[in-house]
Amino acid sequence: MTAITEMHVKNADGSDADLSAYAGKVLLVVNTASKCGFTPQYTGLEELHRKYADQGFEVLGFPCNQFGGQEPGDAAEIAHFCSLTYDVTFPVFAKIDVNGDDADPLFVELKKQAPGLLGSKAIKWNFTKFLVDRSGKAVDRYAPTTKPEDIEGDIESLL
């Protein structure tokens, strides 16, 4: 098992991001989209981020356009939308694929560590959430319909 915090991803500007910067923190990793019915979850994600940041918690957003073309923008448009519409302060990384041959290695590992119902690996839609403990292991996976506030108790138990 690879610790999530040993992996590399791309920042929104395309530069390399080393997730070791989040080592020792509790993480909520989410595939996001700006034009989805679940997009208002940005509000709850930001509330969690602000509430628990000083206790070692971070939300990490990864835009994805694989579900209904609901994240069509480029990095600048996504950043502008997140900031202007939802006052997002948590990191939003480069747009990625979460399923298929081009799936980002981060999400390949997350799906392996925290499979879905009946062991399924595929992510079904935008705003699937993975809770990662302080050791860098994905300990739970939440459906897009799970509201951020419904995860709060699980986050608290890991902090």
Domain ranges of the chain: 4-147
C-alpha 18 chain-centroid distance:
15
Could you say which of 36, 64, 106, 110 is catalytic?
A: 36
The pTM of the whole model exceeds 0.85: yes
pLDDT in tens, 10-40: 999 999 999 999 999 999 999 999 999 989 9
4-147 in CATH: which number? 3.40.30.10
Annotated active-site residue 64? The verdict is no
d(CA 143, CA 145): 5
- What is residue 58's predicted lDDT score, i.e. its pLDDT? 98
Report the side by side order of strands in the sheet with 138-142: 57-63, 26-32, 129-132, 138-142
Q: What's the token pair of residue 44?
A: 């709850």
